[in-house]
Amino acid sequence: MSFPKISRKIESSQETITIQFLTENRELILNKEKCLGCGTCFRVCPKEAINRGPIGASRRATIQKFPTKEDIIPEIYNVNKCVFCGTCVYFCPASALTLKKNGVIVNLADIEIVKQKVVPKLEFEAKKIKDSKNLERTIKQYSKAEISVIDEQCPRGCSTCATVCPSGTIAIAKKPEHGWEFSKNVEVVDVDACIACGACDNACPTGALQLKITEVKTSGDYNAIFWDDLFKRLKHLRWSNIKEA
């Protein structure tokens, strides 16, 4: 048997990639049930080993034309590119990714890019959120964002952004009582609830909804060569035109 040996296992609720060396192994595990579909892991991966998921027309049938949460769950599509650096694990707001070494979970503080101060410390708040279906979970929020909606670009009948929003920030507007009354398609019903995850921006099929990350809370030392580029990618969502800080 030649080393290293790389394998990938895909299950309905979990995806696992493993690299086996002669004396040790490492695993990267994606819990699809915890995943928000926000695309953070895709954006921060320094090796582009993760994609954002088969969104939109490439995946959905004609009858089912709008993407759902299942369509935006990322895939570790190139296992040979992954270097098990743990960047995706550290920045995942939902703790949906886990890094293991020899079967033991690597704590966030012990991930090499954190331990060696390659990236700054994330100053996050453990925040309890509840989605439109009353599903409650705890996430780590370290960013703030602004949401904008271009109503004329929003396709009628699409409820994707409200469906994937994990915090109940977005809702589909009620139809007006009278035909001559104007009504927006999408409403931002609770700005304070937004966790700046990016799931809505990632899932929108037209770019009608855009999320702009305005702040990422960090502290401590870091390696500018690695972090500066990562920071730009972290802020650059699917549809938003981010002006680099």
For the stretch 26-45, pLDDT in tens is 999 999 999 999 999 999 99
Structure tokens at 73: 């769950």
Per-residue confidence (pLDDT) for residue 53, from 0 to 100: 62
Q: Which residues pair with 204 in a beta bridge?
A: none
Per-residue confidence (pLDDT) for residue 242, from 0 to 100: 46
Nearest to 119 by CA among 234, 220, 10, 8: 220
Location of structure tokens 């101060």:
117
Q: Is the dihedral of CA 83, 87, 93, 99 positive or negative?
A: positive
User: First-to-last CA distance in the chain?
Assistant: 49
Q: How many residues does the chain have?
A: 245
What's the predicted TM-score (pTM) here?
0.87
Per-residue confidence (pLDDT) for residue 56, from 0 to 100: 41
Nearest to 192 by CA among 123, 121, 125, 244: 125
Per-residue confidence (pLDDT) for residue 65, from 0 to 100: 60
Per-residue confidence (pLDDT) for residue 29, from 0 to 100: 95
**Which regions in the chain score pLDDT beneath 70?**
1, 53-67, 176-182, 241-245
